[in-house]
Amino acid sequence: MAISKKTVRDLDLKGKRIIMRVDFNVPMKDGVVQDDTRIKAALPTIKYILEQKAKSIVLMSHLGDPKKDMEKAKEKAAKEGKPFDEKKYMGSKHMLKPVAEYLSKLLGKNVLFAPDALGADTKKMVDSLKDGEILMLENTRFHKEEISKEGSEREKMAKELASYGDIYVNDAFGTAHRAHASTTDIARFLPAVAGFLMEKELEYLLEKIVRNPARPFVAIIGGAKVSSKIAVLESLLSKVDRLIVGGGMAYTFLKAKGLSVGVSLVEEDMIETARKILQKAYETHIYIYLPIDHIVTKEFSAEAEFRHVARGNIDEEWMGMDIGPMTIDKFKGALRGAKTVFWNGPVGVFEFPRFAKGTVAIAEALAELPDCVTVIGGGDSVSAVNKAGVADKMSHISTGGGASLELVEGKELPGVAALLDK
């Protein structure tokens, strides 16, 4: 299914300098890449551009939010009474040189690295690139202009970045919901097209989930808080045939139905909102599936002793950590016969192995659905299908949690809107 935006296939790239926004915001530990999913996802576009005999490729990305993340790390070190080495922290978490080296290995081709995204030295490096060479810029968010709320500041940075290329390619779906210098403003100065990853994300999320899902269409929404998923829940109610709600947010819904949930995670200020969502579902004949049994503990801990609550209320002092076996069967029943499934958010405290059973069971159930479009909407759901060993059985795994949710909510993403229309 074709998308309405131009892609790298629609322009002649031969002899052109390409500036490309990628999303290499990958988890790092001590300067080592921990998960290369997003790097590998950009390879088809990079390889295609090289095959089309482009003059050069300049890659740009952010890596974390250096200022905000460093403040948090400093606070944590101060609380623990530990010394804090700013330079060492930045090098281990936010500098892109190790990512450039990692990309070199994946491509089997040297990727040059510019120690800054802007400045005369970087421009000199760009201008001296030989045919077919690739240069990666340092973290764009080291410059405050990248995410500035002042349009003129972002524009100044975007103009400088645009001077590095003749064509702008955006393959960073994970940041498409952000109006930043390197994602939207740059598109005002160069012809702007989507890369293959961006194209695939839009094809699945926009065309196969939002606009034209095959039916029955089932959505699974999990995670901790209702407040972060209200808009997507409300939007999905008008699109799905069945809605499954799990994870911490389910307890707000259960409390809204008058059930006792012990000390499970509940957003008290969201109970009325949950009631309204349940009422709307009832009026529109959309069935919302909620947990009917629970794995509960007395403390939020990976090693906590647990018990099974078969039905009804959770006693005081106990909290829900995962869905129980009856709920797993109920959710599997809701998925039976589905032709489209969208999943965002785990249905239990999946990061603790003993409370990951429900989430892994859902992943395995999706893998077994015949003739069904299964779309994993980024975030922890991606870890879940990887953990269950069924990632290769999903139709599409999104690289953007926030961006995929906003698209499903019906919002226009600035990074997508900035691209040329077909």
- In the structure encoding, which two tokens stand for residue 290, read together? 């909620």
Phi, psi of 306 (to 5 degrees): -130, 165
Residue 233, token pair as written in the block: 């829940």
Q: Which two tokens stand for residue 74?
A: 């400093």
- In this structure, of 29-33, 197-201, 295-299, 373-377, the range with the lowest mean pLDDT score is 29-33
Known catalytic residue at 31: no
- Helix ranges (H only) for 188-259 are 196-202, 230-237, 249-256
Please tell me the predicted confidence (pLDDT) of residue 401: 82
CB 146 within 8 A of CB 154: yes
pLDDT classification of 2: cutoffs 50, 70, 90: low
Mean pLDDT of 159-170: 98
Percent of the chain with pLDDT over 70: 100
Average pLDDT over every residue of 307-316: 89
**What is the DSSP secondary-structure string of 322-381?**
EE-HHHHHHHHHHHTT-SEEEEES-SS-TTSGGG-HHHHHHHHHHHT-TT-EEEE-STHH
Per-residue pLDDT band at 313 (split at 50, 70, 90): confident
**Model pLDDT, residue 69:** 86
Which of the following is catalytic: 91, 337, 402, 410? Answer: 402
Task: Give the pLDDT of residue 70.
Answer: 87
- Which letter does DSSP use for residue 194 in this model? E
Which of these ranges, 230-234, 246-250, 312-316, has the smallest mean pLDDT? Answer: 312-316
Q: What is the pLDDT of residue 137?
A: 98
CB 322 within 8 A of CB 355: yes
- Name the active-site residue from 16, 21, 38, 229: 38
Q: Which of 97, 156, 225, 387 is catalytic?
A: 225
pLDDT at 78: 86
Give pLDDT, residue 59: 98
Q: Give the torsion through C-alpha atoms of 72, 76, 79, 83, to 10 deg.
A: -110
**Catalytic site residue 379?**
yes
Least confident of 32-36, 40-44, 165-169, 355-359: 32-36
Question: Residue 228 — φ and ψ, nearest 5°?
Answer: -85, -10
Ranking 24-38, 290-304, 330-344 by mean pLDDT, the lowest is 24-38
Mean pLDDT of 99-103: 97
Please pick, among 379, 400, 401, 415, the residue that the annotation labels catalytic: 379
The reported pLDDT for the residue numbered 402 is 87
Neighbours of 35 (CB within 10 A): 13
Cis ω for the linkage preceding 291 (within 30 of 0): no
**384: helix, coil or strand?**
helix
Is 422 within 8 Å of 193 (Cβ atoms)? no
Provide the pLDDT for residue 384: 87
Mean pLDDT value of segment 102-125 = 98
Mark whether 411 is an active-site residue: no
Q: CB neighbours of 82 closer than 8 A, spacing ≥ 6?
A: none
Choose among 88, 83, 90, 135: nearest CA to 109. Answer: 135
Section 77-84 average pLDDT: 88
pLDDT of 225? 86
225 catalytically annotated: yes
Burial of 203 (0-12, 13-18, 19+ CB in 10 A): middle
Q: Which two tokens stand for residue 68?
A: 């905000």
Q: How much is the pLDDT for 383?
A: 85
What is the Cα gyration radius of the chain? 23
Averaged over 127-151, what is the pLDDT?
A: 97
In 3D, which of 166, 217, 173, 179 has the Cα closest to residue 194?
A: 173
Strand order in the sheet with 56-60: 111-114, 133-137, 56-60, 17-21, 167-170, 192-194
